[in-house]
Structure 1
């Protein structure tokens, strides 16, 4: 019999923790302990090893990113999966550089949450929205390639979904928009990045740190 995955759960909201705890237990995942901030998480991890850390990226005091940095500084390589929202673009970049194995949107489906935990536990990375130095190194752009205009929060959210390979229809469903509205947003995004190709637009947006 395969032993259940053992995880640590960190979130400053008690109701969120309770909901995630119940959900994960129903999926056969063992919650070894819960923490209400990053400092508490680090304290407990020192004596109770787990397979994966599932942490909110935004917490008062020591947040998910600082906890991750401190974890890596003390030589702990436990995979960390951060829960995030669409408006965390700068935080996602910082977390990637700090060594996060993955991100998951807070409104993800339960089966996606279990899949993400299993993937990072076996060593995979789940960087959607994608933000990697490897992409930036491979696709270099010059100053004149900078976006013509600043991107709105909604446009950044759509760019992230494009980076994850989502179609206009899937983006519309995720953001509760009409498919035609998403198509218009994508056209504006391509115009701002001066390209007609969605893939190149995503690569360019990553390189220029738009996402």
Structure 2
């Protein structure tokens, strides 16, 4: 990391939250170039002032964080984005990934975890809770013949992400509002598609093949 502090855009509709984050980030040597309270305001500011990274809430009145990021990506803006949210929701994580986010953290994350996510995302890595994918991809490699036997549904990807976080079938069922038996069926289908015998190998293979 260079001596020049990272410059970020901070987006949250709550002024007190922004004030707390500004104080925290400045203590960590990260410069908040501007604040915005909506997706619309973020887009307007970025047109005038580029930054190294966007740190944004997901759910906001008006244009939310994901909608704003989709618009930015569609316009060719590739500024890395880390989303903060109070919602531990795998569907939000999937939506964040699909929109082009590099990071996804809960607002109760430790300050050092937030700093780490910002630095890594700004340098081009992905850090999405519950699993940091880049280190796993760097360690494990698969070849073309290891490609999935069939495409994955959005629900199967959601189950895979929770498997990656160490969630049990019971916990996955509660998180996704499914019956535990239904989750077991999803897990069996996932193992079959990835041609693996256990959950750990399935998760590692899914990460390296960029399924999650």
| TM-score, length-scaled by structure 2 | 0.68
Q: CA deviation at 1:81?
A: 0.7
Q: Distance in 2 between matches of 1:10 and 1:72?
A: 17
Deviations 1:139-177 (A, max 9, x none): 34589xx98xxx9xxxx7x963x514x6xxxx8xxxxxx
Which residue is equivalent to 1:8?
Answer: 9
Match of residue 55 from structure 2: 54
Displacement of 1:86 in angstroms is 4.5
Match of residue 110 from structure 1: 111
State the superposition RMSD in angstroms.
3.8
Q: Give the Å deviation of 1:49.
A: 0.8
| Structure 1 residue 198, shift from structure 2 partner | 3.3
The change in CA–CA distance for 1:65 and 1:140 in structure 2 (over 3 A counts) is farther
Distance 1:190 1:113, change over 3 A: farther
| 2:148 pairs with 1:139 | yes
Q: Which whole-Å CA distance do the structure 2 matches of 1:67 and 1:76 have between them?
A: 11
Asked if structure 2 preserves the Cα contact closer than 8 Å seen for 1:5 and 1:51, the reply is yes
Structure 1 residues without counterparts, runs of 5 or longer: 172-181
State how far apart, in whole Å, the 1-side matches of 2:27 and 2:68 are: 27
**Cα distance in 1, alignment partners of residues 47 and 53 from structure 2:** 14
1:157-210 deviations in whole A, cap 9, x for unaligned? x963x514x6xxxx8xxxxxxxxxx79758x6897234783325657999xxxx
TM, length-normalised to structure 1: 0.69
* 1:178 equivalent in structure 2: none
Q: State the alpha-carbon separation in 2 of the partners of residues 191 and 61 from structure 1.
A: 35
Q: Deviations over 1:2-33 (max 9, x none)?
A: 01111000011111111111110111110011
8 Å contact from structure 2 (residues 103, 128) kept in 1? yes
Long gaps (5+) in structure 2: 173-179, 192-196
- Secondary structure at 2:32's aligned position in 1? strand
Matched ranges for 1:54-73 at <5 A: 54-73=55-74
